[in-house]
A and B are shown apart, each in its own frame.
Chain A
Amino acid sequence: MLEFNLEFERGGFLLQAAARIEAGATGICGPSGCGKSTLLALLAGLLPPRSGTLSFRGQTLVDVAAKKHVPAWQRHFALVFQDGQLFPHLTVQDNLLYGYRRRAAGERRFELQQVLDLLEIGPLVARRPAQLSGGERSRVALGRALLYSPQLLLLDEPLAALDERLKQQILPFLRRVKQETHLPMLYVSHARAEVEYLADRTLWMEGGRLLT
């Protein structure tokens, strides 16, 4: 489904990663600084690789040798950032609908109400991100990504900013998203237990290399 063989270098840090990833939830686990987030940014199209290729469902998204680079906004991979990156000037509802409104009606897989129910965030829609707790933010960020109806959901340590108690509250939501939406996901975390709880298979990363 997702196939890549990418090389990226910045400031002396070299990342080399190649894998073929099947549908379902895949975890990528490794110590901080090993390049997990960089890999997700490369997949999402936020960073340009030095060399390599990336394809999704048979469609080539990146081929450095052929100068092909499908930009982030055309990949339909939603990325959930570590701290949510909710837009502070928009209400929760407008945050949730940001990507939804950029999808043609025929491409939408989820409706607002469905996602509000799934993540139990209905009562928050009128609030601003500043008025949310950490756990609420994580759920809104996840909801925003889902409503974009991505082909692939990339999660970059979505729980890292939360304390242990909150993590235990949010993890079941993530599992529920996986089970009810069947979206292919790539879940990155340094916490092995988290990854194993959610993912069907786990890849390891160390020192800029993906071990398969």
Chain B
Amino acid sequence: MLSPAEWDALRLSARVALWATLLCLPFGILVGWLLARREFRGKFLVEALVQLPMVLPPVVPGYALLLLLGTQGPIGRWLYESFGITLAFTWKGAVIASAVMAFPLLVQPVRVAFRLIDSRLEQAATTLGATPWNAFLTVALPLALPGVLAGSVLCFSRSLGEFGATMAFVGNIPGETRTLPLAIYSFMNVPDGEGAALRLAGLSIALALFALAASHWLTRRAERQLGYLDHRVPRA
């Protein structure tokens, strides 16, 4: 049903989105927890920085990545000279671009999840011999799991659809950086490409709906398993 070029785009998108989500997860959990639980100087700046990709034209973060991580950029040159890693115009760069753009969508639900957890549960854990890190791992993180799952699915879906930043940072190279949205755009611009563009657009919609349904189902399941719903019952 799909042509080899269309399959390529689909496979590449899935791979990029998966890696972007995995890359975002540890940072997303850390930042979500910090924003929910800690007051510190410059908190507003961290919040703004996290949200920035959502309100900027996507091409701007993409361009910024090119300036920083491109072969001539300060970090990009260092990565190449020290480790032989090139990000610009490679699928790994597409992972970075997607991760930056999808990060806010992960942080938001994670932050809300941590905020909903009564911090006295972690205090109770520390009075039972758990270090704060231990209390985080055994109490806060499992209770925040529904939020982490929901955020991960959103992050994954957003990565599947990333266009502007990817285009600016890693271009539109078939088989390397031409993900679903870029393939759709490319097919739209060639004669007779309409059928392929339409198929891929339909596929994108189906994938997005599937991801949202999966997120809903996973969250509900986690909430039930964790007895999480009960946890929010007002106390007497």
Contact = CB atoms under 8 A, between A and B. Distances in A.
A45 B227 CA distance: 29
Interface stretch (B75-83, B115-123, B152-160): B115-123
B129 interface: yes
Contacts of B134: 73
A88 B129 CA distance: 18
Contacts, number: 81
A33 interface: no
A39 interface: no
Q: Give chain B's interface secondary structure class.
A: helix
Nearest to B127: A79
B127 A98 contact: no
Interface residues of B, number: 27
Contact of B129 (A81, A83, A89, A102): A102
A148 B228 contact: no
A38 B25 CA distance: 36
Interface in A124-179: 128-130, 134, 144-145, 148, 154, 161
Interface in A113-127: none
B128 interface: yes
B90 interface: no
Contacts of B129: 73, 76, 99, 102-103, 148
A45 B128 CA distance: 12
B79 to A, nearest CB: 40
B131 A88 contact: no
Interface in A20-49: 44-46
Interface in B179-206: none
B126 interface: yes
B38 to A, nearest CB: 15
A56 interface: no
B68 interface: no
A204 interface: no
Nearest to A84: B124
Nearest to B124: A85
Contacts of B130: 73, 98, 102
B226 interface: yes
Given A73-B130, A102-B129, A85 B121 contact: yes
Given A73-B131, A99-B129, A88 B230 contact: yes
A122 to B, nearest CB: 21
A128 B223 CA distance: 13
B228 A81 contact: no
A87 B139 contact: yes
B41 interface: no
Interface in B211-230: 225-230
A7 to B, nearest CB: 21
Nearest to B145: A89
A72 interface: yes
B122 to A, nearest CB: 9
Given A88-B227, A98-B138, A130-B229, 10 more contacts: A46-B126, A79-B124, A81-B120, A81-B124, A87-B124, A99-B129, A129-B227, A130-B227, A144-B128, A161-B236
10 contacts: A72-B126, A72-B127, A73-B129, A73-B134, A75-B127, A88-B226, A89-B143, A98-B125, A102-B129, A130-B231
Report, nearest first, the 3 A-B pairs whose CB atoms are least far apart: A130-B230, A99-B128, A102-B129
Interface of B: 118, 120-121, 123-132, 134, 138-139, 142-143, 225-231, 235-236
